[in-house]
Amino acid sequence: MDIVLWILQILLALVFGMVGFLKITQSKEKVLASPMADRMGWVNDFTQGQLRIIGSLEVLGAIGLILPKLTNILPWLTPLAAAGLILVMIGAALTHLRRKESPIPNVILGGLLVIILVGYWSLLSF
């Protein structure tokens, strides 16, 4: 089970780290001009500052998925990082539903984060 959790952690950390880094470092206009622009229409609903906050939450969550468990310093922060990213995915899914877009990618990412959350809480409880 631990290997499955590590694989999920690494993959999700890469996804959230890259997407969050894009939101932090690029202007709103550059994000809209990216190759994924057809799936980034929601960006118009947010200010540049809000995008940077969302990106920061994603990058911090990505770090939290890996670093505490890897260093064995406060490893209980890893499931809390997953919980935080689940909240971000709930917000993202609600935004897509409001815009009448498909929230399926957010639901899938959220489901994978739930696996990490439940997996580590069950491991920590023993």
pLDDT mean for each 10 residues of the chain (126 residues) = 90 96 90 74 89 97 96 93 97 95 95 94 64
pLDDT at 81: 97
> Smallest Cα–Cα separation from 31: which of 57, 50, 12?
50
Q: Decide if 54 contacts 21 (C-beta within 8 A).
A: no
Q: What is the pTM of this model?
A: 0.91
How many Å apart are CA 64 and CA 98, to the nearest integer?
Answer: 29
Residue with tokens 């540049």: 48
pLDDT at 123: 65
How many Å apart are CA 71 and CA 86, to the nearest integer?
Answer: 23
pLDDT at 109: 97
pLDDT at 125: 57
pLDDT at 27: 87
> Smallest Cα–Cα separation from 9: which of 77, 59, 66, 93?
66
DSSP strand E in the chain: where? none
